[in-house]
Structure 1
Amino acid sequence: MTHAFFQPPAASRFALRNLRAPRCLVATDLPGNPAGELAAIDLLIDNGRIAAIEAAGAMPAELGPDLDASMVLPGMVDCHTHLDKGHIWPRQPNPTGDGAGASMATMRDRTARWNADDVRRRMEFGLCTAYAKGVVAISTHLDSLAPQASISFPVFREMRERWAGRIDLQVSSIAPLDIFLTDEGRQLADIVAESGGKLGCVTRSARFPGETMPPDLDEALVRVFTLAAERGLHLDLHVDESTDPNARALIRVARTAMAQDFTGRILCGHVTSLALQTDEFIEETIAACKDAGIDIVSLPTVNMYLQDRSQEARTPRWRGVTVLHEMKARGLRVAVAGDNCRDPFYAYGDHDMLDTFTQAVKILHLDHPLGDWIRAATETPAAIMGIERGVLKPGTPADLIVLKARDYSEMLARAQFDRTVLRAGRAIDTTLPDYRLLDDLMRA
C-alpha cells in the first residue's frame, strides 16, 4: 500500500469523523451547518456502504478516527475518454501537436498495431490507473472504422465483465459521420447495440475531409438518429472540435433531434468552436440544445493542448474550450472529462479525474466562486451516463476519496498524491502500474 495518509478501521462498522465535503454532493440535510461550499460531516460506514451522514461532532469518538477536517469526495466519473487509444505516444508521437497530426498518427498506429491483445493490455493499464486514482465510472469511445470495431468491441465487453464491481464501464462508437450513410454504418450500429453501447460519431465527413460543415451533414445526422432510435440507443457525439468559426454543427444536431422527436439521451463533446461565435448565435444554439435535452462535456486539458497550436513560434491566442458557464446558467447539464491519455491527441494525462477537475478550474475559470462546479466531475457525468454515482448518500457504496487537503485551496494548489481511495469502505492499493509493463508493445 503506498501514499495513502491514513488507514480506516478494520471493523465492518466504523465512522470517519470531522471531514469536509462539497455541500452540493452531500445528499442529506445537515441541520446546524453554516452556509458555505464545504460541509463539516461525520460519515458512518457499515458493511461497505454509507450508513449515515451527520454534522461533524455528532458521532462518538470510539467509532473511528478524527480526520482533522480532511476533504472527502465521492468516487469520480469520466464520461468521455478513449481507452483504446491510450499510451501509444512512445511508439506513435504526434510531431505537430495539432488535431490533424493526431488523426494521422493515430490512423498509422491503429492500422499497424491495434490487434486484440494490444488494445486489451493498454485498456487494462488505463483502467488500473484510473482505479488507483479513485475513478468509479468511465464511458469510453472506441475507434470504429472497419475492421477495428469487430476487434475493439469484443475486448471492451471482456473488460467490462472483468472490471464489474470496480469501475462501471460504458462504451460508444466513434467514426466519421458519413459512414452511417453506408451499410458499414448500419453494421456498426448493430455492433454497438449488441454491446449495450451508445451510438457515436464525429460531425465530420471522410468524403469531405477539409469541411467543418460537410455537405452531407444533415442527411447523415438524420440517418444516425434513425439508426439509434430503431435500436433504442443513446447518442454520444464529437461535435465542432475545431478552431474554425464556420463549424456550427451543434445547432444542427439539436434541430435534428427535435425534428426526429428523439427520446434517447444525447451527449455532445468538445463544441469548442461555439466559443468563437457571436453572442447572439451562442444564445440561439444553447436554447436549441436546451429544447433538445442535449448534455455537454468539455475536455479542457486536451483541447487546450491541441487547439490554436501553430507550427511557428507563436503563442496560442485562446484556451480551446466551450462556453460552459453560459450553458450551465441556462440549465444544460455540463461535465468535464479526461478524454485522451498519452496518445497523439494528448501527450500527457494519467486517467485522474481529480487532476482533470483541478485543471478545468484553472482553464475554464470555475472559481470565484467554485460553487457546485465539482458536480461536473462527479454527480453530473454520472447522471449523463444514467447511473447513480458521484454523491455522498446514505445507502450507496462507500467508494470515496479522502484527501489530506482541508479545503479547495489546498486541494487545487497541490497534487493530491497521498489520497486515500476507499472502495466499499476499504483502502485500496493506490500503487500505479509501471509504464515498463507496456515496453514490449512500444517496440518497433
Structure 2
Amino acid sequence: MLSGAFPPAGPVHLANATVPSALTAGMLNHLGEGLGRADIVIDQGEIASISPPGIAAPEGATRVDLDGGLVLPGLVDLHTHLDKGHIWPRRPNPDGTFASALEAAQADRVAHWSADDLRRRMSFALQCAHAHGTVAMRTHLDTIPPHDTITWDVFTELRRDWADRVDLQGSALFGIERLADPAYLPRIADRVAACGGTLGVVSYMVDGLDGYLRQMFRAAAERGLDLDFHVDETGDPGADSLRRIAETALETGFSGRIVCGHCCSLARQDADTVDRTLDLVARAGIGVVSLPMCNMFLMDREPGRTPRWRGVTLLHEMRARGIPVAVASDNTRDPFYAYGDLDMIEVFTQAMRILHLDMPVGDWVRLVTTTPADLMGDPTRGRIDVGLPADLVLLRARDWNELGARPSGPRTVLRAGRAIARALPDYRDLDDLMEHDR
C-alpha cells in the first residue's frame, strides 16, 4: 500500500476505487451489495471530486490505481473505555464473568489510577485507534470519587493533544444507584458540561430506577447535554431499563440525542415484550450501540459450560423500525474484554459474522461510519463527499467478502490526504505499569 511519504505535492487521483454507495450520498451502486466504482481526486487535504472511473485526472495530479480496492471514510467508534484499557496483565478477570470484571476493575482503579498511569494507557490506546483508521471516538470514563477528577483532567489534556488526529468525546460513567445522594449528579453534570461531554450512567435494575432516570434527563436538559446509557448488560429477561429509558424520554419530551449501549437482555425476552419496547425506542428516537466482541466474551459464561447465546442485541429488528444502530469496540485488554485493539475494521467484520450482517452486507457499513457520527453530533464524519477532509482508509480488499475473510489485510490510512505511519505501539511500552501486581 502507500507509504508514509505519500503523496507528493499537488492533487492526487485515486483511480478505480470501490466505494460504498451508502457513504457517498447514494451516488454509486452498480457493483452489487451497495458498492460502486469511482475515481476520487484529493486536493489540499480535501476530497475535490468523486466521479465515474475513467474520467481524465486533473492536470498535474498524481495518479494512484487502487485496482478496485475498497475506500472507506475514517471510522467512528461510539463506545469505548480508554480509562480501563490495557490493565489485563496486572488485573485479569479470574473467571471471565461480568461480576468478576466489575470487582477487578474497581480494585485496579483504587490501586493504580494515577494521572501518569491513565495518561500512558489512554495514549497507547489512542495510538492504536489512530493507526487503524479511527477519526472520532466516544469514551466512557469512570466518574467515581475521588478518582473522577484525575480521570477527567487527563481526558481533557488528551482531548486537546489528539484534536488533529482523533476527535474525542467523554461520557460520564457510574452506577445509577449513586443518585440516591442528591449532591452527586449536579457536580458530575457540571464537570461533563465543562468538558463538552455526554452525561452517562449504568442503569441497573435498582429500587427507585424511574426516579433516577428522571433526574438524569432533567440534569441533561438543564445543561444542554446528550445522554448515553449502559443498559441491561445481562442475560436476565427481567432487566427492562431500555423500556423505562424510552418511556422517560417520551414523558419528558427530551430533545437531546440519546444512546443506549448493550441492551443484551432484549434478546432473552418474549416477542410481545420486544415489540412493545422497540416501538417505544423508535418513538423516542433513541440510538442503540451493540458491543458484539465484548458481550460474546462476558455473557452466558459459566465455567465448564458452552455458552448458549451470543450476548448481542436485536439490530435487525431495530433497523427495521428505523432505530439508528451502531457497533463499537467497548473494552480493550481489561477485565471486561481480554482482547481487542480499537480496530473498527475488526469490529465491523466480527459483527458481520456474529450478527449475520451479510447475504447481503449492503449498507451495514453505516454501523461504524455515518450512524455513530450522527449520534455523536458530527454529520461530517463517516462519509465520503466532496468538500470533506480526505480522511480515508484505503483497503486492498475489493469487496465485503474479501474484507470479511481477511480483515487484517493491507490498508493505508489517509489523514487530510496524506498517508500516516501505521506502526502500532508495543505492549512492552506498558510493562513497567504492569509490574505492580506481577
Q: TM-score, normalised by structure 1?
A: 0.95
Superposition deviation, residue 29 in structure 1: 3.0
Residue 52 in structure 1 maps to residue 43 in structure 2: no
Q: 1:22-101 alignment to 2 at 5 Å?
A: 22-27=20-25, 29-30=27-28, 33=30, 36-60=33-57, 63=61, 64-101=63-100
Which of residues 383, 392, 395 is equivalent to 1:400? 392
Residue 240 (structure 2) aligns with: 248
Superposition deviation, residue 180 in structure 1: 2.3
**Cα pair 1:28 1:53 within 8 Å, conserved:** no
CA distance in 1, matches of 2:210, 2:118: 33
Superposition deviation, residue 185 in structure 1: 2.2
Superposition deviation, residue 27 in structure 1: 2.6
Residue 7 (structure 2) aligns with: 9
Residue 105 (structure 1) aligns with: 104
**Cα pair 2:79 2:140 within 8 Å, conserved:** yes
| Count of residue correspondences | 432
4+ aligned runs moved over 6 Å, structure 1? none
Q: State the SS of the aligned residue for 1:58.
A: coil
Superposition deviation, residue 368 in structure 1: 0.7
Q: 1:327-406 alignment to 2 at 5 Å?
A: 327-387=318-378, 388-406=380-398
CA distance in 1, matches of 2:77, 2:191: 23
**Cα pair 2:264 2:313 within 8 Å, conserved:** yes
**Cα pair 1:93 1:343 within 8 Å, conserved:** yes
Which of residues 253, 258, 268 is equivalent to 1:266? 258
**Cα pair 1:77 1:377 within 8 Å, conserved:** yes
Q: State the SS of the aligned residue for 2:66.
A: strand
| 1:49 alignment partner AA | E
**Cα pair 1:358 1:412 within 8 Å, conserved:** yes
| 2:124 alignment partner AA | F
Residue 157 (structure 2) aligns with: 158
| 2:418 alignment partner AA | R
Residue 201 (structure 1) aligns with: 201
**Identity, % of aligned pairs?**
52
Residue 207 (structure 1) aligns with: none
**Cα pair 2:7 2:419 within 8 Å, conserved:** no
Q: State the SS of the aligned residue for 2:256.
A: coil
Gaps of 5+ in 2: none
Q: 1:220-235 alignment to 2 at 5 Å?
A: 220-235=212-227
| 1:26 alignment partner AA | T
Q: 1:133-144 alignment to 2 at 5 Å?
A: 133-144=132-143
CA distance in 1, matches of 2:386, 2:411: 22
Distance 1:274 1:117, change over 3 A: same
**Cα pair 2:21 2:27 within 8 Å, conserved:** no
Residue 429 (structure 1) aligns with: 421
Residue 239 (structure 1) aligns with: 231
Gaps of 5+ in 1: 205-212
CA distance in 1, matches of 2:96, 2:425: 26
**Cα pair 1:49 1:394 within 8 Å, conserved:** yes
Residue 178 in structure 1 maps to residue 177 in structure 2: yes
Q: State the SS of the aligned residue for 1:53.
A: strand
CA distance in 1, matches of 2:115, 2:201: 22
Distance 1:73 1:402, change over 3 A: same
Which of residues 236, 253, 269 is equivalent to 1:277? 269
The Cα RMSD (Å) is 1.5
CA distance in 2, matches of 1:413, 1:277: 33
CA distance in 1, matches of 2:33, 2:348: 20
CA distance in 2, matches of 1:286, 1:78: 24
Q: TM-score, normalised by structure 2?
A: 0.96
**Cα pair 1:403 1:416 within 8 Å, conserved:** no
